[in-house]
Amino acid sequence: MGSGRCAACRYLRRKCTDDCILSPYFPSNNPQRFVSVHRIYGASNVSKLLQRLPTHLRAEAADSLYYEAQCRLEDRVYGCVGLIFLLQQQIHAAESQLIKTQAEIAVMKSQVQHP
C-alpha cells in the first residue's frame, strides 16, 4: 500500500497493510464511500463479508453495500426497498399507459378501416 492508507484505514486510524481487504474497494480519494458503509454495516462486518466472497465478486459487493448504505442514510425506514417500490409503481403506471395507448390505436385503426 506504500505510504498511503485506504479510506477505511484512514477513518479507523490504523495502519493500512498490503493485504488490507478494504483497500481495493474504499480508496483514499473517496472517503465518504467508506463512511457511509461503516455507519450502516460496521467495518468488521464489511471486512468479514468481503473475505467470505470470491475475489471476483468483491468489487460488486462493495458497490452494492455502498448503494444500499446511501439509500438507508437517505431513507432510514425503507432504504433501497422504498426506491424499488417507487420504481415498481412507475413501471406499473407506464405499462398501464402503454395498454391504454395500444387500445386507442386499435380503436383508431378500426375506425379508419370501417368508416
Task: Identify whether the C-beta of residue 13 lies closer than 8 Å to the C-beta of residue 31.
Answer: no
Return the SS3 of 30: coil
Which residues contact residue 34 at a Cβ distance below 8 angstroms, ignoring those fewer than 6 apart?
Answer: 6, 7, 8, 11, 22, 26
Q: Supply the DSSP string of 76-98, one letter for each residue.
A: TTTHHHHHHHHHHHHHHHHHHHH
Distance CA 51, CA 30 (A): 21
pLDDT score, position 3: 47
pLDDT score recorded for residue 29: 93
- pTM for the complete prediction? 0.71
Average pLDDT over residues 35-49: 95
What is the length of the chain? 115
What is the tens place of the pLDDT at every residue in 61-114?
999 999 999 999 999 999 889 989 999 999 999 999 999 999 999 999 998 887
- Answer yes or no: is pLDDT of 28 > 60: yes
Dihedrals φ, ψ of 100, to 5°? -60, -45
Residue 108 C-alpha cell reads as: 383508431
Grid coordinates representing 1?
500500500
